């Protein structure tokens, strides 16, 4: 199969980067953790969600985007890990949703199944969901469990974009190899958005670019 033509780390215009900076300079606050669909906050604004395997660096990325070190900790406290955690971005501008990490080997099967049902219903029913960001560890590439969530996004016809995390960890040659694996893996998904952003919450690399991508998306461009 020929790999889909992905754009990797596109150069943003200064205007787009500035829009991203301004958006994430505004307040971002944890609003609620949701365990059932009837607990969802109103669908009165655009929404984006973040998904990824446990430990992929999701909380760190949300903290880096918002420049708030402790923000996503709200979603990390025990008991909160199976919830969809809603953050209000820029006083009503958008919902950011931190989905529970998947692929955690120790999780009981029953819990995993209940979680999968909740996510599937959320993804297929949430009409204001503008895009899902699927985080992939820059050292490991796309794993079978990542394909499962991407299959769910395909089925729900939710546009999703891949973000590589922890890009400070692999050596350049290793990162290039993983990038090829990721492109090939993503190519089999109908709902994939053809742009990949490489990030490091540690060094801050790619964070302004991802902010710009989100600002552009919310502006409907
Ligand atoms: N080197 C490096 N480590 C990271 C990065 N992002 C997260 N980590 C580490 O990876 C581990 C898991 O991060 P966390 O954000 O809690 O992952 P989550 O389970 O997906 O929310 C923590 O020890 C983080 O410090 C990164 O960009 N670079
Ligand atoms: Mg987390």
On whether residue 37 sits in a domain, the answer given is yes
Q: Which atom of ligand 1 is nearest to the CA of 98?
A: 21
Give tens-digit pLDDT for 58-78: 999 999 999 998 888 755 555
Distance 202 CA to ligand 1 centre (A): 8
Position 108 pLDDT exceeds 90? no
> What domain range includes position 107?
7-218
Alpha helices in 129-202 (DSSP H): 144-156, 172-186
In a domain, 1, yes or no: no
Residue 81 has pLDDT above 70, yes or no: no
Residue 77 CB neighbour total at 10 angstroms: 10
From first CA to last CA, the distance across the chain in angstroms is 30
In a domain, 12, yes or no: yes
Overall domain count for the chain: 1
Q: Please return the burial class of 116, using the count of CB atoms within 10 Å of its CB with bins 0-12, 13-18 and 19+.
A: middle
Cβ–ligand 1 distance for 45 under 6 Å, the answer no
Nearest-5° Cα angle at 155, 150 to 160: 45
On the question of pLDDT at 156 being above 70, the answer is: yes
Residue 2 inside a domain? The answer is no
Report pTM.
0.95
Q: Please indicate whether residue 168, judged by its CB atom, sits closer than 6 Å to ligand 1.
A: yes
With a pLDDT cut of 70, the percent of the chain lying above it is: 94
Answer whether residue 63 is part of any domain: yes
Is 20's C-beta closer than 6 angstroms to any atom of ligand 1? no
What's 144's domain CATH number? 3.40.50.300
- Provide the mean pLDDT of the chain: 92
Residue 13 counted as domain residue? yes
Helix, strand, or coil here: 215?
helix
CA distance 170 to 202: 13
Atom of ligand 1 at shortest distance to CA of 201? 27
Q: Please, which residues have CB less than 5 A from ligand 2, an ion?
A: 58-59, 76
pLDDT in tens, 16-60: 999 999 999 999 999 999 989 999 999 999 999 999 998 999 999
Tell me the two tokens of residue 192. 């994939």
Atom of ligand 1 nearest to the CA of 203: 27
- Helix, strand counts (H, E) of the chain: 6, 8
């Amino acid at each position: 199969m020929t790999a889909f033509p992905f754009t990797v780390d596109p150069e943003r215009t200064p205007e787009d980067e500035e829009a991203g900076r301004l958006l994430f300079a505004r307040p971002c606050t944890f609003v609620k953790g949701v365990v059932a669909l009837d607990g969802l906050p109103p669908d009165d604004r655009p929404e984006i969600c973040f998904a990824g395997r446990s430990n992929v660096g999701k909380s760190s990325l949300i903290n880096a985007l918002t420049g708030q070190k402790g923000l996503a900790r709200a979603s990390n406290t025990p008991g909160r890990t199976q919830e969809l955690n809603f953050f209000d971005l820029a006083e009503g501008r958008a919902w950011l949703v931190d989905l529970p990490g998947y692929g955690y080997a120790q999780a009981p099967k029953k819990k995993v199944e209940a979680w999968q049902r909740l996510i599937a219903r959320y993804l297929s029913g949430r009409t204001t969901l503008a895009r899902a960001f699927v985080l992939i560890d820059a050292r490991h590439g796309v794993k079978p469990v990542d394909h499962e969530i991407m299959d769910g996004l395909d089925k729900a016809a939710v546009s999703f974009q891949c973000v590589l995390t922890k890009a400070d960890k692999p050596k350049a040659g290793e990162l290039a190899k993983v990038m090829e694996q990721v492109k090939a893996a993503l190519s089999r998904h109908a709902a994939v958005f053809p742009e990949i952003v490489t990030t490091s919450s540690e060094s801050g690399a790619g964070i302004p670019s991802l902010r710009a991508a989100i600002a552009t998306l919310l502006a409907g461009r």
